[in-house]
Amino acid sequence: MTDTELPRTPDYDAWPIDADLDTVSFTPRLVTVRWSDGRISRYHGIWLRENATDDTTINPATRERILDLSTLPAWPEVEGAEIDATGALCVDFAPEDRRLRFHPGWLRAHDYDNVSDPEAPLVPVTTWQGGPEAGPDTLDATGLLDTDAGDDAEEAILAPALESVLGKGLVRLRNLPTEPGSLEAIAWRIGPVRPTNFGQLFDVRAKPDPDSNAYTSIALPPHVDLPTREYHPGLQMLHCLENSVEGGQAVMLDGFAVAEALRDRHPEAWTTLTRVRWCYANTARTTDYVWYEPMIRLDARGKLLEVRIADFLRGPLQTAFEDVEPAYEALMTLQRLLRDPAFAIRFTYAPGDLVIFDNRRLLHARDAFEGASGHRWLQGCYMERDEIRSRYRMIQRARRQRRLTTDA
Amino acid sequence: MTDTELPRTPDYDAWPIDADLDTVSFTPRLVTVRWSDGRISRYHGIWLRENATDDTTINPATRERILDLSTLPAWPEVEGAEIDATGALCVDFAPEDRRLRFHPGWLRAHDYDNVSDPEAPLVPVTTWQGGPEAGPDTLDATGLLDTDAGDDAEEAILAPALESVLGKGLVRLRNLPTEPGSLEAIAWRIGPVRPTNFGQLFDVRAKPDPDSNAYTSIALPPHVDLPTREYHPGLQMLHCLENSVEGGQAVMLDGFAVAEALRDRHPEAWTTLTRVRWCYANTARTTDYVWYEPMIRLDARGKLLEVRIADFLRGPLQTAFEDVEPAYEALMTLQRLLRDPAFAIRFTYAPGDLVIFDNRRLLHARDAFEGASGHRWLQGCYMERDEIRSRYRMIQRARRQRRLTTDA
């Protein structure tokens, strides 16, 4: 690469140039640029130094960082800054006596001086109510497994599906194959499955000698799966292979909507459930999972991070003596909200349906069914929320790449 | 079951009776018992009601709860309590008019009135220093794969191994097979593997066209794997199949010991690194993982929960403008500590060695090696910390079961 080309970016991503660098000024610690649309952005010298793309900073083969800042002879100081003929920002650093160049599209995309929330979700999160008219976002996925990974036909199905899961925590795909095991190939269109003690895929049907209430025909109250883990799976997929029973309707609730209602209507119960650490336990025949966590968790910025609600997977509460009665009062307040039909959507699985939902946000439940009236067979698996975000970012990257190609 | 036998416990576990129930008294909300060793324990009526073991409370087939407390006619009140001829606690509940019985061994094991820390770790956590004389706890695992799952020979190898991982975050097993892929069978002696975009097992060796610095022969600085995930894997296993190269020594550090040293010596840097949310990013060719988290995380009780340190997997810091320079100052202070040889243990992998370590606590690194000097091939996989705890609890359960059998 010569200075007649734009510098590489520090990753494999594509960064269209929406505004040009117009002017630049600097102090020893700071570079300030003005963009062609008038925006002013400040970048710290130390930040620029660590995010450079030359071969002393980034391994050119893997595009991963090799620089350890603390091995530099001193805090890197800016002793020159200009915009070169390609439109790149060039910065001269002392004491290394090194000139480093920065791609304007990448710089603009990482403008921490002007971004109010760098951690903004990929898709806005919207909570939802249920009721008799409500249902999941539903998409026709005919032919998904016949598409090529990454092609336009796959993207046409996956992009809106991922948007529903990211925004609402739920999507229903229809008209998928009903071959047992096909869920694994479908799941791989997003990412790797997270196996558990229940296997890579698990079969939800009434079984002899069941090791979970899920594997009976009884009703299941609203719950998340595997709250007994330090980190319960972020995504669950349930794929209907057969359904000819009476009953067994699926019920789904937005746990974040229920939590918000609790906060608004019963603030004391909300405070208790964000604080008291319940015991979640699955002391089964051959495994013994236990974890302690509040039922409602907020992230460092006070936003809802996860709910951990599953009455049949709670062990004995082990908390301060004086917290026990308030905890149970708050729990019963929550349980009453969970039975309010205003939160629930209800639907019947048809063979070929696949429901993908956020298992750290949504609660799922089912009605009892009559085992003798027919067959009800779902296959399920788990995945991390990381995978759905990675897949969606790859779609965004492909769109940026197409813009670059179109602009060129 | 009749009242001539002890009641069932609400799980599949075994609960030896270390003290008998001596006397009992009650109020409408509280049952107070005195044990044969003088201990006094109080149990709330609501707590007893939810943790009962009768068929209205627990599904007898799955041993999972079916009771929804909020569907009871009213808050359960205690109207009688006594110790029966079997030594069980019997409690009469209004308004259900139901007598429920509780196993004294189980009650004593869940005595929340007298336990100072119900979440105490299974094995005490001890941080450690390194230095030239230090090395990992090392166990001979000859024949592990020839044992039967759950038998005494397996337990004799696994129990001390799990204790080292739980307490120190690290163990080295020696004399395991060197067949490629045998790691999967070894891992299954503990629990299911967590696959990632790098596969179920991954091969650590110098590769053409590497997608990670790990797959080159360059030195790797101390790091955790996959910090780009919402929840990076709790356990990592590295299994040596071949090692005949010059260099490539393994280096391990106790990230908790480094974090504590930072807290003691550089409290300002500590505070910054527990607060500022760094960007972790692996924007590779076909995947794009991004997550924001502080480098050092404490749990709700202020104890060290995890470290997330990996310079080559950090994306551009996106935080408040005024935090950028303090963040880099704190980072460089940490980087200097990480290079202090007092923290590091160093060892050379021999074929058949398996190192299991806590990937949310330990940092691992390696020296550069000479690819042309021989072969260096490790296979690795990830697992959750939940699995090691579940497996260890099963060993504890088996020990309790043996005590019950011996006592009988």
Query: CB A63 to CB B289 under 8 A?
Result: no
Q: Where does the pLDDT of residue B62 fall: very low under 50, low under 70, confident under 90, or very high at 90 and above?
A: confident
The reply to whether B264 falls in a domain is yes
* Residue B265, SS3 per DSSP: helix
B:325-344 residues touching chain A, CB 8 A cutoff: 325, 328, 331-333, 335-336, 339
Please tell me the distance from the alpha carbon of residue B95 to that of residue B74, in angstroms, as a whole number.
7
- Shortest CA gap A96–chain B (Å): 17
The reply to whether B401 falls in a domain is no
Please name the residues in contact with A12: beta carbons below 8 A apart, sequence gap of 6 or more: A63, B283, B284, B285
Q: Do A194 and B193 touch (CB under 8 A)?
A: no
A89 shares its domain with A152: no
Question: Contact, A225 vs A238, CB < 8 A?
Answer: no
- Are the beta carbons of B384 and A70 separated by less than 8 Å? no
- Would residue B6 count as lying in a domain? no
Is the same domain home to A146 and A275? Answer: yes
Cis status, amide bond into B341, omega within 30 of 0: no
Closest to B321 (Cβ–Cβ): which among A42, A66, A335? A42
- Do B102 and B146 lie in one domain? The reply is no
Question: Residue B301: how many CB atoms within 10 A of its CB?
Answer: 9
- In chain A, which stretches have pLDDT less than 70? 1-2, 408
Per the CB < 8 A criterion, the answer to whether B278 and B317 are in contact is yes
Interface probe with B: pick from A184, A339, A390, most Cβ of B within 10 Å: A390
**Chain A residue closest in CA terms to B190:** A287
* Predicted local confidence at residue A1, as pLDDT: 46
Q: Report whether A159 contacts A169 (CB < 8 A).
A: no
CB contact under 8 A, B192 and A191: no
Contacts of A218 in chain B (CB under 8 A): 59, 66
B322 to chain A, any CB pair closer than 8 A? The answer is no
CATH of the domain at B142: 3.60.130.10
Cα(A154)–Cα(A139) distance, integer angstroms? 13
Nearest to B247 by CA among B379, B370, B375, B372: B370
Taking a C-beta distance cutoff of 8 angstroms, is the pair B22, B34 a contact?
Answer: yes
Beta bridge partners of A34: A23, A40
Tally of domains within chain B: 2
Closest CA–CA distance from residue A320 to any residue of chain B (Å): 7
The answer to whether residues A273 and A372 belong to one domain is yes
Is A249 found in the same domain as A143? Answer: yes
Which range of residues forms the domain containing residue B26? 21-118
Using an 8 Å CB-CB cutoff, list chain B residues near A382. Answer: none
So what's the pLDDT on residue A287? 95
Whether A270 and A298 map to the same domain: the answer is yes
Closest residue to B110, CB basis, from A194, A228, A316: A316
Q: Establish if A170 belongs to a structural domain.
A: yes
Over the stretch B233-290, which tens digit does the pLDDT of each residue have? 999 999 999 999 888 889 999 999 999 999 999 999 999 999 999 999 999 999 999 9
Note whether B118 contacts A194, CB cutoff 8 Å.
no
Instruction: List the single residue in A119, A215, A324 with the smallest CB-CB distance to B44.
Output: A324
- Sorted by sequence, the CB contacts under 8 Å of residue B267 that are 6+ apart come out as none
CA dihedral of B327, B333, B336, B338, whole degrees rounded to 10: -70
- CATH number of the domain at A80, please: 3.30.2020.30
Helix (H, G, I), strand (E, B) or coil at A78: strand
| Selected residues 23-62 of chain A with any CB under 8 Å from a CB in chain B | 29, 42, 44, 46-47, 50-51, 59, 61-62
Average pLDDT in the B198-215 region?
A: 84
A240 and A371 in a single domain? The answer is yes
Residues B214, B216, B218: CA angle, nearest 5 degrees: 90
Looking at the DSSP bridge assignments, the partners of residue A290 are A281
User: Are A312 and B65 an interchain contact pair (Cβ–Cβ within 8 Å)?
Assistant: yes
Judge: A325–B29 Cβ closer than 8 Å, yes or no.
yes
Indicate whether this complex's ipTM tops 0.90. Answer: yes
The answer to whether residue A231 sits within a structural domain is: yes
3-state secondary structure of A363: strand
DSSP, residue by residue, A223-278: E-S-TTSSS--SEEEEEEEEE--SB--EEEEEHHHHHHHHHHH-HHHHHHHHHS-E
Residue where a domain terminates, one of A59, A84, A118: A118
Domain shared by A321 and A260, yes or no: yes
The reply to whether residue A44 touches residue B325, judged by beta carbons under 8 angstroms, is: yes
Residue A371, in any domain of the structure: yes
Which A residues, 365 through 404, put their C-beta within 8 Å of a C-beta on chain B?
384-386, 389-390, 393-394, 397
Interface test with A, best of B70, B388, B393 (most A CBs within 10 A): B70
Specify the pairing of strand B138-140 against strand B170-174.
parallel
Last residue of a domain, one of B83, B118, B153: B118
Interface mutation vs chain B, best among A62, A211, A295, most B CBs within 10 Å: A62
* Contact yes or no for B313 and A64 at CB 8 A: yes
**CB spacing of A213 vs B59 below 8 angstroms:** yes
CB A272 within 8 A of CB A319: no
- Model pLDDT, residue B369: 79
Domain closes at, from B70, B90, B118: B118
- pLDDT tens track for B369-392: 787 778 889 999 999 999 999 999
B60 cis-preceded (ω within 30 degrees of 0): no
Q: Is residue A173 part of a domain?
A: yes
Interchain CB distance below 8 Å, B331 and A69: yes
The CB-side HSE value for A134 (13 A sphere, CA atoms) comes to 17
Structure tokens at B272: 């910054």
Q: Same domain for B59 and B203?
A: no
pLDDT reported for residue B379: 97
Q: Are residues A224 and A279 in the same domain?
A: yes
Same domain? For A35 and A90 the reply is yes
Do A300 and A213 sit in the same domain of this protein? yes
Q: What angle do CA A369, A371, A375 make, to 5 degrees?
A: 100
Residues from chain B contacting residue A291 (CB–CB below 8 Å) = 386
Residue A354 resides in a domain: yes
Does the pLDDT value for residue B207 go beyond 80?
no
Which residues on A lie below 8 Å from B324 (Cβ)? 44, 46-47, 112
B318/A119 Cβ within 8 A:
yes
Residues 6+ apart with CB under 8 A from A98: A54, A56, A92
CA–CA dist B33, B114 (Å, integer): 12
* Pairwise CB contact (< 8 Å): B68 & A291: no
| pLDDT of A404 | 87
